[in-house]
Amino acid sequence: MNDSDKMPISFKPNYSISAETASALMQIESVRRDIDDLPITPSVLASLRETARLYSTHYSTMIEGNQLMADDVAKVIEGSGHFPGRERDEKEVKGYYAAIEQLERHVQASGAVSESIIGKLHALVMAGGRIVKTPTSYRDGQNVIRNSADGAIVYMPPESPDVSRLMSGLVEWVNNNAQLPVPLLAGIAHYQFATIHPWYDGNGRTARLLTTLILHLGGYGLKGLYALEEYYARDLGAYYKALSLGPSHNYYMGRAEADITPWIDYFIFGMRTSFAKVKTRAQEAAQDGQQDRSDALRTLDPKQRKVLILFQDKDEVTSKDIEELFELQPRTARVWCARWIEQDFIMMSNSSRKARKYRLAEKYQHLI
């Protein structure tokens, strides 16, 4: 292989921006500034953010055929629900939620868009809640996408030898085009990732996570309160139609050069819709004079964030309180409490076996 073969395949998206799309970009920017300035109490912020995570998980997996309802998804994540016959759906939910948490940690650590983090997100998506640290390797064969109804070929992505260079080219393009509006950057990256289809499975979910990653790193996280996946899931036909551009279902017959303006319009209008909903909810939740504790809340896992609700009503809680909040067995509640003590999230305030109680650790008192 010569040196030119080792170079990333250049990516030059073909699109135009209409006056309406430009207006939508300005509206998105306006909402971003407004929400950044809204003071929201830590408890309300935690609740809104957790709802957004659950919605993202529910709708992104629903797009792929997951049958669990939104309430079921919440129970699976909390560990309080099991649905016989839906084990695969449960694993998909756990995997996607774990990937969202990894994404948030990466953003908090001021990470960048890289093939490594994209591969780690995909690995988590496919791991069903298991701990994984190694990025997924790209596919080593062809992956033809067919219509489930009649088996007709819907899309034939690039061949496996080209995948690595195409992904390198995409990441290079993302990191070298900071002058573009972040929503536009994220939308184009979503389209190109779906075009490359670097793995046999999990590409759609990872594309949506990549979109969120780029938006959050670019300052469009909106405190973690939105779920673009809901917009896609509300009209799957429109979502797939917007992604299905080009003169042929074969990547090598025009997909790379296709005019992606229809996708850009769809994506930006969806962001505008989603951001407007967030602004309404955030304005209703905002309380004057309250300090935003977003950064501190990100250090807690979903269960810990939910437990903060208990400590708002009382200084001390029992394992029974935890048990009732999450609908757990007594032994499981006690195990959780012991683990949280080790993590310095709570501390024992009464060690009596019959009257054991816990207080929130001092470093988290400001969150309630």
Structure tokens at 289: 């004079």
Mean pLDDT for back-to-back runs of 10 residues, the chain (368 residues): 46 93 96 81 75 92 93 90 92 96 89 96 95 94 84 89 95 95 97 96 96 95 87 91 87 90 96 90 66 68 83 86 86 92 91 85 82
Model pLDDT for residues 272-282, shown as the tens digit of each residue: 999 998 888 77
Verify that 204 and 308 share a domain, yes or no. Answer: no
Residue 281 and residue 309 in one domain: no
In a domain, 9, yes or no: yes
Domain boundaries, position 351: 300-367
The CA distance from 271 to 275, in Å, is 6
- pLDDT given for residue 7 in this prediction: 43
Q: Are residues 211 and 312 in the same domain?
A: no
What SS3 class is residue 346?
strand
Nearest to 194 by CA among 209, 207, 181: 207
Domain CATH for 45: 1.10.3290.10
DSSP-assigned letters across all residues of 171-212: HHHHHT-TTS-HHHHHHHHHHHHHHH--SSS-HHHHHHHHHH
CATH number at residue 330: 1.10.10.10
Rounded distance between C-alpha atoms, residue 104 and residue 113, angstroms: 13
Q: How many domains does the chain have?
A: 2
| Pairing, β 357-360 against β 316-317 | antiparallel
Q: CA-to-CA distance for 321 and 13, rounded, in angstroms?
A: 54
Residues 89 and 127 in one domain: yes
pLDDT score for 294:
63
237 shares a domain with 329: no
The number of helix segments (H) and strand segments (E) in the chain equals 16, 5
User: Which amino acid makes up residue 138?
Assistant: Y
Cβ neighbour number for residue 108 with a 10 Å cutoff: 13
- Structure tokens that stand for 127 in this block: 């791991």
pLDDT at 301: 83
Residues 80-133 pLDDT 10s: 888 999 999 999 999 999 999 999 989 988 889 999 999 999 999 999 989 898
- The whole-angstrom separation of Cα 12 and Cα 296 is 40
Residues 281 and 359 reside in one and the same domain:
no
Residue 291 is predicted with a pLDDT of 56
9 & 151 share domain: yes
Picking from 104, 14, 50, the residue whose alpha carbon sits closest to that of residue 303 is: 50
Where is the domain boundary, 259, 285, 311? 285
Is the Cβ–Cβ distance between 300 and 314 less than 8 Å?
no
At residue 316, the 3 state secondary structure works out as: strand
